[in-house]
Amino acid sequence: MNSFDGQTQAFVNWLVDEAKIKISDKVEVQDLRAQGQGRALVAVQDILKDEVLFEIPRECLLNAKTSSLVKDHPELKVNLEQELGHWEGLILCILYEKLVKKESSHWFPYFSILPEAEEINSLMYWNDEQLENLKPSLVLTRIGKEAAKNMFDSIAIFITTHGLRDEISPLSWDLFVHVASIIMSYSFDVELPEKQSNDQEDGQDENEEYENECIARDGYMKSMVPLADILNSNTNRCNAHLTYSSTTLKMFAIADIPKNGQIFNIYGDHPNAEILRRYGYVEWGGSKFDFAEVRLQNVADIICNKFNITETKFEKLIKIFQENVTINELLEDESIILESYDCYNDGTILPEIIILLQILCTFLSMDLVEKYVDDEIIESQLERVTKKCTQLISGGRITSMVCDLWKQIVCAREKEYPSHASREQVIQLNQYLNTDGLRNNMASEVLRNEFQCLQKCEDSIKNEFTIIDDQKLLNNVLKRKSTNEQNSMPEKRQKI
């Protein structure tokens, strides 16, 4: 047997003999590298919906409660759970297994099948040239290197503070990133068994007991779950689901699975860009949950050009939306000012952008920014417009200008994408052998998926609302204003 096959067989033997995982005779771990997928779980017989594929005892999970670290250093158990977050805690536990326990670790056969750093394609491993191929996707703003550095520092401090430096050493950045990437790709947030009443002291609320985020305060624990993480994820082909009981985790079939069919889980409602960032792969043909993002700056550019106002004045209005108490009450404390607005592959767009555009269109059509220099007057009028616009939208109506401006905003965002984002691409299987070629193809797929989402959202707003003339809404707003002014100036009313 070659190394890959040998490691697979040793892992499967460990699952049954050491981890005591009950595995159905109808499934098998297979090598799908020829399809660019690595190890996967495949049906070797027809499987019916609701059949149990495997059952995992909780004690074979690797987390902050089961690791060798807390067994070898029981005095650290409380510190580990109360001082560190889920990520930091699990990273530290895996580091201890790899650097201290090594081949004697209970999970060594499991670690042997996890990918090496050079096999991982999550965005933390992409170089600057490769990341350049993802522009203008906003996934580039969420890679998280700064947060990772802070996490690295907190773990290093914990190691030093609690006397682990001689054992967990050296803690290199590369090793940290490798372990963190493994956790990102393979871990589960496992629900904890229901706590007994005596776990609570004097009825104290656990959420108030700990000031900072930590393992002890939550009802779940980030864990490595051997075998469950062998399943590849596919948002369009998911046919299995992991459930929790007080003693075990069970993977059920949620659909009939034919012989030779692959068994898929799902990692979450993620678009391809986020799947790539987190897990280092994409779903060719697109994720079921793909979306693109229109930036607030795109909105600013189109609005400023349409109404001939400066960006400073636009920012002034945005600040009012963020700080005005009355407006926030009218919006039910749901902020409509976001850094970006999602545009989904089914044509759905966020309601926040519709509300924002309707208010801005109506308010700026009244020329109030130029007419009034008094901030209080501007805020008062903006409150009035917000009330009218929210009433209009809740009634399923918007004005035609909102539709026109939204299309301009989306088209402006589309122009930021490279020309190849609008074209179909053919993926050759042999390109998986080349890291640069694979990452280039994955970047192209992400951009293509996002561009398609933008296209589908250009005119979709018209299908969701009844379109009315802008002047009709404007007259409604100005009518109340005119009446109030007349009531405050009786002499003018007498002249009419």
pLDDT tens-digit map of 226-257: 999 999 999 999 999 999 999 999 999 999 99
- Indicate if the pLDDT at residue 397 is higher than 80: yes
CA atoms of 257 and 24, how far apart (whole Å): 13
DSSP string, 480-493: HHHHHHHHH-HHHH
- As a whole number, mean pLDDT of residues 17-31 equals 96
302/392 same-domain check: yes
Would residue 426 count as lying in a domain? no
Residues 152 and 297 in one domain: no
Q: Report the distance separating Cα 340 and Cα 350, nearest Å.
A: 10
Residue 221's CB: how many other CB atoms inside 10 A? Answer: 23
Shared domain for 68 and 199, answered yes or no, is yes
Separation CA 180–CA 277 (nearest Å) = 13
State whether 187 and 313 are in the same domain. no
486 and 373 co-located in one domain: yes
pLDDT tens profile 166-180: 898 778 999 999 999
Is residue 362 located within the same domain as residue 485? yes
Task: Return contacts of 108-113, CB within 8 angstroms, 24+ apart.
Answer: 109/7, 109/10, 109/11, 109/13, 109/14, 109/18, 110/11, 110/14, 110/62, 110/224, 110/226, 112/7, 112/10, 112/11, 113/7, 113/8, 113/11, 113/39
160 shares its domain with 298: no
Q: Which of 224, 246, 279 is the last residue of a domain?
A: 224
* Residue where one domain finishes, among candidates 224, 240, 265: 224
pLDDT reading at 104 higher than 60:
yes
**100 and 187 both lie in a single domain:** yes
Mean pLDDT on 31-56:
94
d(CA 313, CA 295): 18
* Omega of the bond leading into 226 within 30 degrees of 0 (cis): no
Torsion of CA 48, 50, 52, 55, to 10 degrees: 160
Mean pLDDT score of the chain, rounded to an integer? 89
User: How many domains is the chain partitioned into structurally?
Assistant: 2
In a domain, 187, yes or no: yes
Q: Which domain holds residue 123?
A: 62-224
Rank 39-53, 169-183, 204-218, 467-481 by mean pLDDT and report only the highest: 39-53
Q: Dihedral through CA 71, CA 73, CA 77, CA 81, nearest 10?
A: -100
Judgement on whether residues 220 and 312 belong to the same structural domain of the protein: no
Structure tokens at 84: 């560190």
Question: CA–CA separation, 475 vs 482, rounded Å?
Answer: 10
Q: How wide is the angle at C-alpha 212 spanned by C-alphas 211 and 217, nearest 5°?
A: 85
CA distance 80 to 159: 11
* pLDDT above 70: percentage of residues in the chain: 89
pLDDT at 428 over 70: no
| pLDDT tens column, 80-101 | 888 889 999 999 999 999 999 9
Among 28-37, 152-161, 472-481, whose mean pLDDT is lowest?
A: 472-481
Q: Where are the beta strands (DSSP E) in 11-90?
A: 22-23, 27-31, 39-43, 52-57
pLDDT at 371: 61
**Are 219 and 122 in a shared domain?**
yes
212 and 73 fall within a common domain: yes
Helices assigned H by DSSP within 264-349: 272-279, 296-307, 311-323, 325-330
Burial of residue 404 (CB within 10 Å: 0-12, 13-18, 19+) is middle
User: Can you give the length of the chain in residues?
Assistant: 496
Is residue 51 one of the residues assigned to a domain? Answer: no
Q: How confident is the model at residue 491 (pLDDT cuts 50, 70, 90)?
A: very low
Dihedral angle sign, alpha carbons of residues 358, 359, 360, 365:
positive
CA-CA-CA-CA torsion sign (66, 71, 75, 76): negative
Structural domain contains residue 354: yes
Measured distance CA(386)–CA(335) in Å, rounded: 13
Residue 34 belongs to a domain: no
DSSP letter string, 427-446: --GGGGG-HHHHHHHHHHHH
Q: Report how far residue 68's alpha carbon sits from residue 411's, in angstroms, rounded to the nearest whole number.
A: 55
Contact status, residue 86 vs residue 218, Cβ threshold 8 Å:
yes
Return d(Cα 16, Cα 13) in angstroms, integer. Answer: 5
The total of other beta-carbon atoms located within 10 Å of residue 411's CB is: 14
110 found inside a domain:
yes
Averaged over 197-216, what is the pLDDT? 48
Q: Return the minimum-mean-pLDDT range out of 63-67, 202-206, 424-428.
A: 202-206
Q: What is the mean pLDDT of residues 452-458?
A: 97
Torsion, Cα 189 348 423 279, to 10 degrees, reads -10
Tokens standing for 116?
């090496």
Does 81 map to a domain?
yes
> 224, 244, 275: which is the final residue of a domain?
224
- Which among 198, 190, 159, 176 has a CA at the least distance from the CA of 60? 190
Q: Residue 41: phi, psi to the nearest 5?
A: -100, 125
Residue 429 in this model has a pLDDT that exceeds 60: no
The answer to whether residue 135 sits within a structural domain is yes
Alpha-carbon span 141 to 457, nearest angstrom: 23
Whether the CB-CB separation of 11 and 109 falls below 8 Å is answered with yes
DSSP readout, 362-398? HHHHTTHHHH---HHHHHHHHHHHHHHHHHHHHTTEE
Residue with tokens 């060719």: 284
Angle between helices 296-307 and 351-365 (to 10 degrees): 20
**Phi and psi (nearest 5°) for 101?**
-80, -35
Give yes or no: residues 127 and 209 share one domain: yes
Residue 380 confidence (pLDDT) above 70: yes
Count Cβ atoms below 10 Å from residue 329 Cβ, excluding itself: 12
Tell me which of 78 and 140 has the higher pLDDT.
140
203 pLDDT above the threshold of 90: no
Of the listed ranges 54-63, 265-274, 471-480, the least confidently predicted one is 471-480
Model pTM?
0.88
